[in-house]
């Protein structure tokens, strides 16, 4: 019987090791569902995958956003999905959530914005003005199944916003068009990462609309919210200059399937996956773009003298909002 020469044997052994390592890595497949190709969620999913190291073969998947990611998790199609923090918190309070899922962590911030015609924004002045004149206003929301729409419905509960008439558009572009072409009582709502160069802000600007922040009195008391000054470019109306807006922000939640939702080796893999996600510093989880890193390091306005002063000024500016809206609609 012929025997393999020593150099050939060594080469074959090395090749077998490489094959085995490659096979193990291929088997260590995990997936994180983000969002649309042009949004920030898919970038965050890609950053999450990059932070996990070479031993986990992680894929960032495109999706329709928060609601679509929940549905994919429920169907067992992905290992983890990103969604708006309040939506994840509400889901976690539903019966049976903890049997299959957990919120591994929250990070990053989506800022809350109202859009409207310049005369409407000038009439309401701020969020307090919207509450004062809510019964006269119409809020256009970007799609029944969108995270934006679900977030606004949560803001409505127990507040004067419940008196607003609601119209649901097909998507954000349709929302912008409806607000631009509708009456002065029309407003739009979105939760959006405050990337100054985001195409969403450019769409708003080119439609001749303005952007306004949302700061509600109870935001300082809810750990889910932070209040920060963000920078956007409301291009057409500010001669392409950056604009500072103080507004409430919400974290993004990373919801994962628990190891018990898997079997055998996949359950162990999911356990390792979750531990890595929890241990990685937040700065490494976020896209490395300067604007998002700067926002992450910006201090939030908390309950106290500064917040009280902000609320007092807002209340004073909002006085008479209902009369101003009436004058626009008559």
Q: What is the mean pLDDT of residues 237-259?
A: 81
> What is the sign of the dihedral through the CA atoms of 263, 264, 270 and 275?
positive
pLDDT interval class at 93 (50, 70, 90) = very high
Q: Which pLDDT value is given to residue 43?
A: 83
What are the tens digits of pLDDT across the range 217-236? 778 767 778 888 777 765 45
- Lowest mean per-residue pLDDT among 24-28, 72-76, 132-136, 191-195: 24-28
* Bridge partner list, 247: 228
Q: Which pLDDT value is given to residue 31?
A: 96
For residue 24, pLDDT over 60 is answered with: no
Return the closest-CA partner of residue 296 out of 193, 179, 210, 152.
Answer: 193
Q: Which pLDDT value is given to residue 123?
A: 95
Q: Report the alpha-carbon distance of residue 193 to residue 178 in Å, rounded.
A: 22
- Beta pairing class for 29-33 and 80-84: parallel
Angle at 216 between CA 215 and CA 220, to 5 degrees: 90
Q: What is the mean pLDDT of residues 14-34?
A: 62
Q: Which pLDDT value is given to residue 291?
A: 61
% of the chain exceeding 90 in pLDDT = 44
Q: Which pLDDT value is given to residue 16?
A: 46
Q: Which pLDDT value is given to residue 22?
A: 41
Domains of the chain plus CATH, in order, are 26-108+252-292 (3.40.190.10), 110-250+295-329 (3.40.190.10)
296 compared with 210, residue with greater pLDDT? 210
Structure tokens at 325: 């809206």
Q: Which pLDDT value is given to residue 270?
A: 96
pLDDT interval class at 238 (50, 70, 90) = low
What are the tens digits of pLDDT across the range 182-207? 999 999 999 888 877 778 888 888 89
- Please write down the HEC assignment for all residues of 228-295: EEEEEECHHHCCCCEEEEEEEEEEEEEEEECHHHCCCHHHHHHHHHHHHHHHCCHHHHCCCCHHHHHH
Q: Give φ, ψ of 47 to 5 degrees.
A: -65, -40
What are the tens digits of pLDDT across the range 40-63? 788 889 989 988 888 899 999 999
Q: Which pLDDT value is given to residue 38?
A: 67
What are the tens digits of pLDDT across the range 59-68? 999 998 888 9
Question: 318: which DSSP letter?
Answer: H
Contact at 8 Å (CB) between 185 and 120? yes
What are the tens digits of pLDDT across the range 256-289? 999 999 999 999 999 999 999 998 887 777 766 6
Question: 146: which DSSP letter?
Answer: S
Q: Which pLDDT value is given to residue 197?
A: 73
* Bridge partner list, 256: 80, 102
Q: Which pLDDT value is given to residue 223?
A: 78
Q: Report the alpha-carbon distance of residue 101 to residue 91 in Å, rounded.
A: 10
Q: Which pLDDT value is given to residue 20?
A: 41
What are the tens digits of pLDDT across the range 128-177? 999 999 999 999 998 887 888 888 998 898 899 999 999 999 988 999 99
């Amino acid at each position: 019987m012929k025997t393999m020469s020593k150099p050939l044997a060594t080469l074959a052994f090395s090749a077998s090791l490489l094959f085995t390592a490659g096979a193990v890595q291929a088997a260590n497949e995990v997936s994180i569902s983000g969002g649309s190709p042009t949004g920030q969620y898919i970038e965050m999913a890609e950053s999450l995958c990059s932070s996990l190291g070479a031993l986990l073969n992680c894929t960032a998947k495109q999706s329709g956003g928060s609601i679509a990611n929940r549905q994919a998790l429920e169907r067992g199609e992905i290992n983890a999905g990103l969604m708006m923090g309040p939506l994840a918190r509400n889901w976690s309070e539903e019966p049976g959530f903890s049997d299959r899922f957990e919120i591994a962590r929250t990070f990053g911030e989506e800022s809350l914005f109202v859009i409207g015609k310049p005369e409407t924004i000038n009439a309401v002045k701020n969020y307090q003005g919207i509450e004062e004149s809510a019964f006269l206003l119409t809020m256009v929301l970007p799609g029944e199944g969108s995270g934006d729409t679900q977030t606004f419905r949560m803001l409505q509960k127990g507040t004067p916003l419940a008196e607003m008439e609601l119209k649901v558009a097909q998507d954000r572009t349709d929302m912008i068009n409806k607000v631009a072409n509708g009456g002065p009582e029309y407003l739009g709502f979105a939760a959006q990462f405050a990337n100054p160069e985001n195409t969403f802000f450019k769409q708003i600007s080119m439609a001749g609309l303005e952007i306004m922040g949302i700061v509600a009195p109870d935001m300082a008391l809810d750990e889910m919210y932070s209040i920060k000054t963000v920078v956007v470019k409301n291009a057409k109306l500010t001669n392409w200059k950056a604009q500072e807006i103080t507004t409430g922000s919400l974290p993004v939640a990373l919801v994962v399937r628990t190891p018990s939702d898997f079997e055998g080796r996949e359950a162990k893999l999911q356990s390792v996956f979750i531990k890595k996600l929890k241990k990685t510093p937040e700065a490494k989880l976020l896209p490395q773009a300067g604007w998002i890193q700067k926002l992450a390091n910006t201090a939030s306005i908390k309950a106290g003298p500064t917040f009280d002063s902000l609320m007092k000024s807002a209340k004073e500016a909002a006085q008479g909002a209902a009369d101003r809206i009436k004058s626009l609609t008559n």
